[in-house]
Amino acid sequence: MGAGKTTVGRMLAKRLTWRFTDTDAEIVRQAGRSIPQIFAAEGEEGFRVREQQVIDQLTQLEQCVLALGGGSLLREINRQHLAERGQVIFLSCSPEQQYQRTRRSRHRPLLDTPDPLARLRDLWREREPWYRATADHTILVEQRTVAQVVQHIIMVLT
């Protein structure tokens, strides 16, 4: 959360003249309701099932940049589909920077807690090893503009 996946993904897709899809937006489109509504009705597990289906669908497309939700790599099948079907770029961002970027958002159910920074730190400890293990490339995004991050991605992909 807050690493810039959607913003970077949109700009990268535009530069490559590829399609861009945010998996969370696709989940919302297919479900016909918001992520907080999905979490409320189906819990995190129901959301993860939907996410797995969307990742399976979208990783079969060609010339497509995907922005994934932060928890998508928790499932082995998602990691497998991503590794087999494309290049994975990990946009690395500290929990403190994520907090600065997300603290005003009301649309992040996992941060609906009395101490969102502590929650981001917990999520980082849990998820970061999966991000690194799955990534073909890791790019530090702190103190870089979106354009700089996109240029770096293009450089490592070519």
pLDDT in tens, 67-85: 998 889 989 999 999 999 9
Mean pLDDT of 115-144: 90
Query: Are 58 and 20 within 8 A, CB to CB?
Result: no
User: In the predicted model, is pLDDT for residue 121 greater than 80?
Assistant: yes
| CA–CA distance, 12 with 150 (Å, rounded to integer) | 6
User: Residues 98-117: what's their mean pLDDT?
Assistant: 71
Q: Which domain holds residue 36?
A: 5-157
Per-residue pLDDT tens digits for 14-62 = 999 999 999 999 999 999 999 889 999 999 899 999 999 999 999 999 9
Q: Residue 82 maps to which CATH number? A: 3.40.50.300
Single-letter amino acid, residue 36 = P
